[in-house]
Amino acid sequence: MPEDSGRRPFTVGVVGTGYVGLTSAACLAHLGHRVIGADIDATKVAALRRAEVPIAEPGLADLVGAHVADGGLTFTTDLAELATAEVILLCVPTPAHADGTADLAPFDAAVAALADVLRHDAVVVVKSTVPVGTTRRTARALGRSAVSNPEFLREGHAVHDFLHPDRLVVGTVPGPGEGRATATVTALYGGISAPLVRTDAASAELAKYASNAFLALKLSYVNVLAELCEHVGADIGDVAGAMRLDPRIGAAFLSPGPGWGGSCLPKDTRALLRTATEAGVDFAVLADTVTANEHQHDRVVRKIREAVTGSAEGSLDGVRLGLLGLAFKAGTDDVRESPALAVADRLACAGAVLTGYDPGVRRTAELGAVRWADEVGLVAKDAAGLVLLTEWPQFRQLDWRQLAALTDRPVLVDTRDLLDAGSVVRAGFSYHRLGR
Ligand SMILES: NC(=O)C1=CN([C@@H]2O[C@H](COP(=O)(O)OP(=O)(O)OC[C@H]3O[C@@H](n4cnc5c(N)ncnc54)[C@H](O)[C@@H]3O)[C@@H](O)[C@H]2O)C=CC1
Ligand SMILES: O=C(O)[C@H]1O[C@H](OP(=O)(O)OP(=O)(O)OC[C@H]2O[C@@H](n3ccc(=O)[nH]c3=O)[C@H](O)[C@@H]2O)[C@H](O)[C@@H](O)[C@@H]1O
């Protein structure tokens, strides 16, 4: 335990060892706690016991390796092994139903399985993103106080964000044990320095959805603004650049792209919208945020069609396109709800033949109609156009002259405004960007 923490180590059970659970488990072990990670996926648990980390997160494999080796971090498929845990973190998935509501089946299954296992004084912490009321319901189901402690880490920065969060939000359910539960969660994070927001569970749960939905809103705003720039002869780079300098607006989340995606922004915006609908609140700006994102995928396809065929009505049937980037953003191996794949789906429906390269995504990822390429030359070979969809910085260093020579037609649509226009034009490409 770091010297400055001034707290005692806990025995912590982490249920679900995905992006959030494994990161939490490894970081809490790093902070000196004894951590048991539990997961229903036996293959994953077997790999983690060998300190093999199935996701690409900077620093995570080192932490897991160190604490599996020193015994501070163990893994199990048997929830009964959490019987000694003083604190339980629930980090199971909360995906979306078709109607947008959160699917709480995995969450409820984990809670039900814990009911017979927990020691009488164990504090239950809900880290999964859950609709308002879920923590209160969990407390009732388990007959104890439960705490909402939503997680705000970003994929690709998970370890850093966990250890250096912008804020810690701790929301409690009124009742006996509430004070002790808050004190336990606060002590759990001893050694981490961040503003603490102490509130009720409903506000904590809503703060998580509100934050993700606001980021989505900002991105839909800037993506529509980019479209407007194209119509009125303005430059989104300069427009967003001017906006960024206003601290009330903030510098981040103003880069236009092929739409926002990932495992959380899409599901969380839809879930918040459902919560609003069920509460009888007309959250039109959020509904528009979601619609604008779907429109963005269509808009990018139109842009590609025009760039490649020279016309808004040109046919993409049988046209070979090379996709650069498949992950939902740079720095992750995750393709869940990737805008790159949403665009690819639409291109495939229009008959395009797609090959994709991504430096982070694994060959085994679910890529729909996209044929996987191990190296970038293979996506360029004989392509009628290249489309850059994920902002991997290493794409800047590619030999664009060589890639242009490999293509059938050197057309490049850069949906992330990543490249230096002068260099790619000098390399021979006809270069197309959004919002200019
Ligand atoms: N991925 C992210 O960047 C963030 C995710 N969240 C939220 O955290 C929660 C977890 O998300 P991820 O870590 O991305 O999920 P994930 O899909 O990466 O991992 C979830 C893990 O839980 C396991 N699991 C499922 N049901 C289980 C059960 N009943 N008992 C034990 N293990 C079970 C799965 O096998 C899997 O290993 C979600 O509510 C998500 O919205 C919050 C902040 C960031
Ligand atoms: O709840 C979650 O799972 C997490 O969701 C997001 O994190 P993440 O999914 O890792 O992705 P972001 O970095 O937020 O990016 C989301 C999408 O927006 C896009 N984006 C982001 C920024 C930008 O300027 N432009 C832009 O198009 C990205 O390419 C990506 O498709 C939030 O940023 C985290 O705070 C939150 O904890």
Binding residues: 39, 44, 94, 129, 152-155, 208, 253-257, 261, 267, 329, 336
How many CB atoms neighbour CB 91 within 10 A? 27
The pLDDT of residue 5: 42
Q: Is the pLDDT of residue 6 over 70?
A: no
Dist CA 101 CA 395 (whole Å): 37
- CB of 216 within 6 A of ligand 1: the answer is no
Q: Which of 264, 293, 296 is the pocket-test mutation for ligand 2 (most atoms within 8 Å of CB)? A: 264
Q: Give, using CA atoms, the residue closest to atom 18 of ligand 1.
A: 18
Report yes or no: 351 and 319 within 8 Å, Cβ to Cβ.
yes
175-227: pLDDT as tens digits? 889 999 999 999 999 999 999 999 999 999 999 999 999 999 999 999 999 99
Residue 264 among the catalytic residues = yes
Within 6 A (CB) of ligand 2 lie: 129, 151-155, 212, 215, 219, 253-255, 257, 260-265, 328-329, 339
133-189: pLDDT as tens digits? 999 999 999 999 999 999 999 999 999 999 999 999 999 999 889 999 999 999 999
> What is the third-level CATH fold of 3-194?
Rossmann fold (3.40.50)
Distance of CA 358 to the CA centre of its chain: 17
Report yes or no: 209 and 268 within 8 Å, Cβ to Cβ.
yes
Question: What is the domain partition of the chain in residue ranges?
Answer: 3-194, 199-436
240-283: pLDDT as tens digits? 999 999 999 999 999 999 999 999 999 999 999 999 999 999 99
The pLDDT of residue 8: 83
Dist CA 281 CA 286 (whole Å): 11
Same fold, 3-194 and 199-436: yes
Angle, vertex CA 111, rays to CA 108 and CA 113, nearest 5: 110
Angle, vertex CA 269, rays to CA 238 and CA 360, nearest 5: 65
How many CB atoms neighbour CB 165 within 10 A? 17
Q: Give, using CA atoms, the residue closest to atom 20 of ligand 1.
A: 18
The pLDDT of residue 7: 65
Residue 43, amino acid = T
- CB of 209 within 6 A of ligand 1: the answer is no
Q: Give, using CA atoms, the residue closest to atom 2 of ligand 2.
A: 264
Q: What is the CATH number of domain 199-436?
A: 3.40.50.720
Contacts for 436 with CB less than 8 Å, ≥ 6 apart? 229, 230, 235, 236, 237
Angle, vertex CA 22, rays to CA 21 and CA 26, nearest 5: 120
